[in-house]
Structure 1
Amino acid sequence: MAVGMDVVLAGCTLIFAVYSVTAELPRKKFEYKLSLKGPHLIQSDGSIPFWTHGGNAIASDQSIRVTPSLRSQKGWVWSKNTNPHEHWEVEATFRISGRGRVGADGLAIWYTTQQGMDGPVFGGKDQWNGLGVFFDSFDNDGQHNNPYVMVMLNDGTKQYDHNSDGQHQQLGGCLRDFRNKPFPVKAKIEYYKNALTLSIHNGMTNNKDDYEICVRAENVNLPRNGYFGVSAATGGLAGAVDDHDLVSFITHSLTVPVTGVCIIYTTFFGMVHLFLYKILDLL
């Protein structure tokens, strides 16, 4: 009889342990007004629901060509609505492709307090307030460290240093060859409890979960109610230009689990344990 009760108690403890681990994971909710994805990406008038695009960007039913592979092109696409959520995750899927051995200039993913339309930083505005994630194709500083993925924070006062490829300004980064891949490249940015995580899918497989962490940083304070955006630019060299195609931009809000449920479960299982041990004492 005592052995049977021990099994019951062990089972209850295991259930609670599993529940506790699961409860730590944030709840995700799809935010359609902050997302875009084909097919039928554009309306009959050429506009994109809840988004605006311009510069040299060309929208189609399936994707947005942020810049074509021509010299000195700039394009952008920005959300019309701000992001009111404290915790969030975005996944941008894109292709960067060109016929040259090297590309230029690159693509940027933004989260900023203002829509940074048309500027010198990969097609976006300089001295932004918020987050920039840069996929830098061209080796401006001659250090042979491109293509490179970089995360940079800005409070609206810093100018991006093109000559050094922003190396001394970055929060973090990683070497990743994101050009001319057989499958689209993906970037997943998670901002949860002031921790920023950038993960990259390198486009070498069709496995949607094949991500590697590029940057993770704690104690990051991003502004609330920012805009999401993607921009791109090509260089002035004829042999170093790329098509930059945005396939999708998917946004989820993240919600911290309610800890009150954990307290209820803790109290409940504690009372069950006590009750069962009292029964065992009487046997």
Structure 2
Amino acid sequence: MRFFSSLLALGLAACAWAADEDDFKSINPYLDSDMQSRWYDFGGDAIIRTDSYIRLTADRPSQMGWIWSRVPLTATNWQIESEFKVHGKNNLFGDGFAMWLTKERAQPGPVFGSVDKFEGLGIFFDTYKNNRPGVVFPYVMAMVGDGKTYYDKDTDGKTNELAGCSARGLRGASIPSMFRITYFQDKSLKLELQYKNEGEWVLCFEVSDPPTLPQAAYLGFSAETGELSDNHDIISISVSSLYGPPAGSTNNAGNNAGSRNHKMSSSRSKKSGTWTWFFMKIILLGLVAGGGYIGYTAWRANKRSHRF
């Protein structure tokens, strides 16, 4: 019985560890009860408003703020989903914010508040047009940096753009603004946006042969303002490891992944589910073994009583 109890405790502890690992997948960026963040560092002008949002910059000139994960993402295939809000009181506004998945982390700089010549992936939500004739802003684009190439700020990144799309109405949207980026190594990189109607995902771009990204990269968000300004808020972040095409990952409207999440909703990955099922089997085997041991002990005791 002591063996059975120990086995059950081990299985429950392992399941708790798997659940905790899955909690990391949701990467909660808010503060805990000790006024600390388990998974994130903050810097610059970023502020946290209880459990409502992280404001990378306020609607004031010359601000810069960032948030970076402390632990790198090492999954080969993954999906990142985030709710955000870009808004302000002025008719003229800027400059925008970026999502990063790079080798370096927490280094302020001139590219939407983060360092230039980065190595990894940058997704730029650019709200201020410098010099891109014929392009409607806000403009969302991807760039894969090699650690040596500068972001071409004068042309809003056109020189080194991997893919992008115009997103008129993204700033100040009346519904929850969200993006979902899905990556399968050497197969596809896809970005979808929600800003027109709730539950309707618009395909921004899909690259069928994307460049290789770093095997271990830190997830970050940063924003900056110049003479013009805006509020750049990150409301929720969800990260999942993928083992096959995710359900509802196409660009049609009204799938369950597109419905609005609760603030900091948990994103259950197949990996953690596999681990949980593995340890549940250990528990079941322990139950069978324990039951067999108890039955055998009872049979031996009964046999002795008949002999005497």
**What TM-score, normalized to structure 1?**
0.73
Q: CA RMSD in A?
A: 1.8
Q: How far apart, CA to CA, are the structure 1 residues paired with 2:22 and 2:180? A: 15
Question: Where does residue 8 of structure 1 map in the other structure?
Answer: none
Question: Where does residue 248 of structure 1 map in the other structure?
Answer: 236
% identical equivalent positions: 34
Q: Is the 8 A contact 1:187 1:198 kept in 2?
A: yes
Question: Where does residue 56 of structure 1 map in the other structure?
Answer: 45
* Pairing 1:176–2:167 present: yes
Question: Where does residue 112 of structure 1 map in the other structure?
Answer: 102
Q: Is the 8 A contact 1:130 1:222 kept in 2?
A: yes
Name stretches of at least 5 consecutive residues in structure 2 with no aligned partner: 1-20, 246-308
CA displacement at 1:144 relative to structure 2: 5.8
Q: Is the 8 A contact 2:60 2:230 kept in 1?
A: yes
- As a proportion of its length, which structure holds more helix? 2
Structure 1 counterpart SS, 2:24: helix
CA spacing shift, 1:169–1:37, aligned 2, 3 Å: same
Question: Where does residue 33 of structure 1 map in the other structure?
Answer: 24
Structure 2 counterpart SS, 1:255: coil
CA spacing shift, 1:162–1:31, aligned 2, 3 Å: farther
Number of aligned residues? 220
- As a proportion of its length, which structure holds more strand? 1
Q: Is the 8 A contact 2:68 2:218 kept in 1?
A: yes
Question: Where does residue 75 of structure 1 map in the other structure?
Answer: 65
Q: How far apart, CA to CA, are the structure 2 residues paired with 1:100 and 1:142? A: 22
Q: How does 1:207-222 map to 2 (within 5 A)?
A: 207=199, 210-220=200-210, 221-222=212-213
CA spacing shift, 1:133–1:142, aligned 2, 3 Å: closer
Q: How does 1:1-283 map to 2 (within 5 A)?
A: 31-37=22-28, 41-60=30-49, 61-141=51-131, 143=133, 145=135, 146-177=137-168, 178-194=170-186, 195-202=188-195, 204-207=196-199, 210-220=200-210, 221-236=212-227, 240-256=228-244
Structure 1 counterpart SS, 2:159: coil
Q: Report the residue type matching 1:241 in the other structure.
A: S
Structure 2 counterpart SS, 1:168: helix
Q: Which runs of structure 1 show a deviation greater than 4 angstroms over 4 or more consecutive aligned residues?
A: none
Name stretches of at least 5 consecutive residues in structure 1 with no aligned partner: 1-29, 258-283
Q: Report the residue type matching 1:71 in the other structure.
A: P
Q: Is the 8 A contact 1:31 1:251 kept in 2?
A: no
Q: Report the residue type matching 2:48 in the other structure.
A: A
